[in-house]
Amino acid sequence: MNHSKFDYDLLVLGSGPGGEGAAMQATKGGIRVAVAERYTQIGGGCTHWGTIPSKALRYTITSTMKALRNPTFREMGVHVSPTLEQMQRGTQAIISQQVSMRQSFYERNNVPVLRGNARFLDEHTVSIDGCEPIRAKHFVIATGSRPWHPPDVDFDHPRIYDSDSVLNMAHKPTTMAVYGAGVVGTEYASMFRNMGIKVNLINTREKLLEFLDDEIVDALAYHLRDQGVIIRHNETMEKIEGTDDGVVLHLVSGKRVKTDALLWANGRTGNTDNLGLETIPLEANSRGQLVVDEQFQTSIPHIYAVGDVIGFPSLASAAYTQGRAAAMHLLGKVDGNLRINDIPTGIYTSPEISSVGKTERELTAAKIPYEVGHSLFRSLARAQITGETTGMLKILFHRDTLEILGVHCFGANASEIVHIGQAIMNQPAGHNTLEYFTETTFNYPTMAEAYRVAALNGMNRLF
């Protein structure tokens, strides 16, 4: 193929984690790369509306509320109720840091960022905001997702929010309904409850976060209820009625819930509607997502798609890895598939949840003889010192080979702790067993020591 007829070897659409992973990997491989970004700043949904702002807000809320509940402050007569606006002030500074850091990656690697919305004109050509056509040999579509807006919900109403607009909520409601109890819904329900807002969490399914281990799900439900969140399972919206003083949620079951504000957290849709896909032709599914194979290729082999635009698991961490995998594949490194082996979940509720590998349900269904090792955080010296005694670590292992099959954790720092288990699970056979944890010395007092405690607990169950 004649390279001179292409402006770039790779054009990446979107500068979120997926696009950045693809662009950086490809440019290191020595090919000509450019990135198209329609927003005024790079970083994608992860930096501006999702992961970074929501986790920054969560940190501010939990640390502020923890400080305010400190008996010393109470004794000094400090009784304040911070507004949401005050809580959000620090977030913008963190976003700016992220943007300037990521901007430097593109500049250092001489990857131009083309501003505007890219639309396909044919299989190798796009136009950005209707300007001169740009030709590329390969494309990676990493355009992300946005909250799904059903047509009968009035998102212009000042008290009805989605997970993007809720980050700019100026007033602090007394009561809040969260419709949808997936990862986003449960994280926000947790966050708002921590601020003292009364929360109704409406779940359209019969359990919270069904993909998690049952024991972890039960623990999450218990702690949310213990904090005062009302959880309603198996409920479906009939209509949402915005009034002057609040929002009434009418449910198919006949129940009505009235709150000061409502957060719609039910479903996301892929950003594929403005890409001119009909010209290539490539079709998105009903959720706006593109279907890809194991190497992240769409039905058109030189057009790849990664990140939220391909659906599950819709994690920033996964998107970055997928972007790198797609770039490795188009560079001719065919084993670039970094897909599904061990993407850990990180769910930033209170308590935090993280897991990697198989659940008990999956192992039982597959008839794999496993055993469980438990460690409760309240028995760890470090947790007693920090006062973060809620939580546990659970290791699932094969009772004959002692091979680690899954690690499930909830409590403070769960999303950090899980990586130790992840690292051992990925060792070659014989080195991926429970014995690593029983024979290794861990710093004391630490949270990581939970692995030693859990491993010994599991060993005691064997006979």
Q: Is 418 flagged in the annotation as binding?
A: no
* Backbone phi, psi, residue 134, to 5°: -120, 130
Query: What per-residue confidence (pLDDT) applies to 173?
Result: 94
pLDDT greater than 70 at residue 128: yes
184 in a labelled binding site = yes
pLDDT band at 244 (very low <50, low <70, confident <90, very high): very high
Mean local confidence (pLDDT), 270-278: 95
pLDDT, position 3: 54
Q: In the predicted model, what is the mean pLDDT of residues 133-140? A: 97
* The pLDDT value given to residue 335: 65
Q: State yes or no: 83 annotated in a binding site.
A: no
Q: Give, in words, the CATH class of 351-459.
A: alpha beta
Residue 10: its pLDDT value, please?
A: 97
CATH class of the 3-145+269-330 domain in this structure? alpha beta
Query: Could you tell me the CA-to-CA distances from 40 to 15, 140, 219, 275, 308 in Å, in that order?
Result: 11, 20, 42, 18, 20
Homologous superfamily (CATH) of 160-266 is FAD/NAD(P)-binding domain (3.50.50.60)
Separation between Cα atoms, residue 88 and residue 96, nearest integer Å:
14
Long-range contacts at 191-195 (CB < 8 A, ≥ 24 apart) = 191/54, 191/57, 191/58, 191/61, 191/350, 193/224, 193/227, 193/228, 193/229, 193/350, 194/61, 194/62, 194/65, 194/227, 194/350, 195/61, 195/65, 195/82, 195/84, 195/87
Structure-token pair, residue 16? 């979120």
Residue 183 is assigned to a ligand binding site: yes
Q: Pinpoint the residues of the chain covered by CATH 3.50.50.60.
A: 3-145+269-330, 160-266
Instruction: Tell me if 181 is assigned to a ligand binding site.
Output: yes
Q: Over 60: is that where the pLDDT of 30 sits? A: yes
Query: Does pLDDT of 153 surpass 70?
Result: yes
pTM for the whole structure: 0.91
Residue 182 annotated as binding?
yes
145 among the known binding-site residues? yes
pLDDT band at 401 (very low <50, low <70, confident <90, very high): very high
What would the pLDDT profile of 430-461 be if each residue is shown by its tens digit? 999 999 999 999 999 999 999 999 999 999 99
pLDDT above 70 for 236: yes
Residue 386 has pLDDT above 80, yes or no: yes
Residue ranges, CATH 3.30.390.30, the chain: 351-459
For residue 328, pLDDT beyond 90: yes
What letter does residue 367 receive in the DSSP assignment? T
Band of residue 189 on the pLDDT scale cut at 50, 70, 90: very high
Annotated binding-site residue? 55: yes
| Residue 389, annotated as binding a ligand | no
Amino acid present at 241: E
Q: Residue 457: its pLDDT value, please?
A: 98
Structure tokens at 197: 């807002």
Residue 1, pLDDT > 60, answer no
User: Does the annotation list 185 as a binding residue?
Assistant: yes
| Confidence category of residue 341, pLDDT binned at 50, 70, 90 | low
Calculate mean pLDDT across residues 284-291: 94
Q: Is the pLDDT of residue 339 over 70?
A: no
Nearest-angstrom CA–CA distance, 351 and 223: 8
State pLDDT tens for residues 222-235. 999 999 999 999 99
Q: Looking at residues 302-323, what average pLDDT do you find?
A: 93
User: Quick check: 225 and 203 in contact, CB under 8 A?
Assistant: no
Choose between 211 and 340: higher pLDDT: 211
